[in-house]
Amino acid sequence: MQFPITDWTFERYVTMWKKTKLHDALFASIKVGIFASVISTILGILVARAMTRYLFPFKKSVLGFIMLPMVFPEIIMGVGLLIFAIFAGMQLSLVTVTAGHILICLPFSVVILISRFEGFDKSLEEASLDLGENAWQTFYRITFPIVGSGILASLLLTFTISFDEF
C-alpha cells in the first residue's frame, strides 16, 4: 500500500484484514470495550440507585465528583492515569487500560441510569418488599424490567465510548 491512495478497492480491505496485528488490536479493543461497559454499567446502577433512593450528606458533591471525567479532556485524564499507574507501580496492561475506560465511561452510565431510576415510582419497590420479596427478588422482578432499557442504553453507549477511545 502506498500513499496517497489513488483508488479504493475491495482488495485493499482484504489485504488489510490479512494482517494479524490488526486482528489483535481489534480483539483487544473489543475485550476492553466489553469489560469497561459491563463494569461501568454495574457501577452506574449502584450509583444511580443510591442517588435516587437515598438521602445522604454531600449528595450533589458526590455526583459532581463522579461527573468530573465528562468535563476533563480525555488526553489529560489519560496522562494523569498513566502517571498514577507508574507511581503506584502498576504494570501497564489491558487491565489498566480497562480501568481508565471505566473511569471515562462511568459518568455517562450514571447520567443514563439516573434518568431511568427517577422515571418510575419507588412505591412499586416498596410494595414488592411489603409483599414478602427480598431486595434481590425485588430488583430482578420489579426494578430490572423497568430500568432495563436504560441498562441496555448504558451498555451500548459505554461500549461505543470505550471502543472509540482504544
Residue 31's pLDDT band (cuts 50, 70, 90): very high
Three cell numbers, residue 28: 483487544
Calculate mean pLDDT across residues 92-104: 91
Strand, helix or coil at 93? coil
d(CA 28, CA 95): 11
User: Residue 24's closest CA among 116, 94, 118?
Assistant: 94
* 137 domain residue, yes or no: no
Domain that holds residue 113: 32-56+66-120+148-165
Write down the pLDDT at residue 10: 79
The pTM assigned to this predicted structure is 0.83
Please state the domain count of the chain.
1
- Does residue 72 lie in a domain region? yes
pLDDT value of position 145: 92
pLDDT of residue 127: 93
Determine, yes or no, domain membership for 135: no
Q: Inform me whether the pLDDT recorded for 12 exceeds 80.
A: no
Phi, psi of 161 (to 5 degrees): -65, -45
Tell me, yes or no, whether 76 lies in a domain: yes
Torsion of the alpha carbons at 141, 145, 147 and 153, rounded to the nearest 10: 140
Question: At which residue does the C-alpha cell 451500548 appear?
Answer: 156
Residue 139 domain-assigned (yes or no): no
